[in-house]
Amino acid sequence: MADSPLFRLDHKTAIVTGAGSGIGQAIAEALAAHGARVHLIDRDAPAVEAVAAGINAQGGEAGYSSLDVSDAEAVTAWAADEPCPDILVNNAGIGHVGDLTATTAEDLDRLHAVNVRGPFNFCRALVPGMLERGSGSVINLASIGGIVGLRDRVAYTTSKFAVVGMTKAMALDHSHTGVRFNAICPGRVETPFLKARIAEYPDPEAAYREMSSTQLNGRLAQPEEIAAAALYLASDSAAMVTGSTLVVDGGWSAGK
């Protein structure tokens, strides 16, 4: 991603969860390329270590930790030893395929634990420091499934609607503090996770074409395109943006 002076993040620190691959990796790399010191969080220690090493090799500044975002005690203990960041990107998330009849209460709880309690845990641990300082940008990764219903994704859609609602509620509660809360709602993004799921279909090429066709521009998004949205929301250029859902879906939701 080109280094634009409009979105410089010099002297800012950022935490990005789910940064071991895909969207989280792209966001971490974009923030670092624009001057932020980044700390990467992921359950996959080798993956997140490799991403951090790549950023450092490119002249950026990155550290990393292996952490389960759904573990509130672990998040609180980890945050107690970390300085308050300027930017918090809650990207870690998981998915589930199934309608109501193919979704158990355990499935719903598992997605809620990661997709909803994960961002809540990090906000609960780090936002008080932002409030005390009087500045900060919190970016929660939701989904197109947080603004429109998705077929065969009842647990996932439920969790992402919750992320959007939580983001708006936090923005309202802290509207005059200098701390901003926004959500990004991507459509389908060509991540390693999605490509692995496509490979499981009987006809992967047909599945790829079908998934691409749901977006009006006829293609999947690239992780770097979601990272560009995060970079904007993280920067001072978005000082007037809070409580918003930035939709990056290739037009999928235009007619909904």
Just list the catalytic residues: 156
Phi, psi of 60 (to 5 degrees): -85, -175
Residue pair 12/37 in contact (Cβ under 8 Å)? The answer is yes
At 196, list the tokens: 């692995």
Cα torsion 75, 78, 79, 85: sign: negative
Q: What is the per-residue DSSP string for 160-214?
A: HHHHHHHHHHHHHHTTTTTEEEEEEEE--B--HHHHHHHHTSSSHHHHHHHHHHT
d(CA 156, CA 162): 10
Q: Which of 105, 169, 108 is nearest to 140 (CA)?
A: 169
Tell me the two tokens of residue 147: 């603004």
Q: Contact 139/183 with Cβ under 8 angstroms?
A: yes
